Amino acid sequence: MDNSKPTKRIIIGSDHAGYSLKEHIISSLSDKGFIIIDIGTHSKQSCDYPVFASKLCDRLNKGSADLGILCCGTGIGMSIAANKIKGIRAAACSDIYSAKYTRLHNDANVLCLGARVIGEGLADELVNIFISTEFEGGKHKRRVDMISALEQ
């Protein structure tokens, strides 16, 4: 990690299906020096993913972190729930291209991953790309602003 830049704060959450992947990502990012905020769940006991999507997004909107990561079985439920919250642009990604361009062109602030869809190795790659890619702006800012206007 580049020590000349401030450390990014990453908020992460999961339901029971994404718990193991969440724990793996926390370990990987902590080893790289990122500041991690774990909002749960804290076990494999069945729970409701919208609770954790809401909790993460509310904290992200309050400035507790720079970016968020949500894990569930497919990543889809978390992304649907997260995108109901004003100010959130969540993307379920299972390939490198999507993880890069959801940040570069869509300024996504939450990455949603499916523990039953991808393995830990691919998850590490997706997280690293998502976190290290900056929003390109330009014509894409106009489009992101148009998306934000839909929330009104």
Residues annotated as part of the active site:
72, 105
Strands 67-72, 110-114: pairing kind: parallel
Q: In angstroms, rounded to a whole number, what is the distance separating the alpha carbons of residues 77 and 52?
A: 11
- Closest by CA position to 53, among listed 31, 27, 81, 91: 81
Q: In angstroms, rounded to a whole number, what is the distance separating the alpha carbons of residues 61 and 16?
A: 24
Q: In angstroms, rounded to a whole number, what is the distance separating the alpha carbons of residues 128 and 126?
A: 6
Q: At what angle do helices 120-132 and 19-31 cross, to 10 degrees?
A: 50
Show the beta-strand stretches assigned E in the chain. 9-14, 35-38, 67-72, 90-92, 110-114
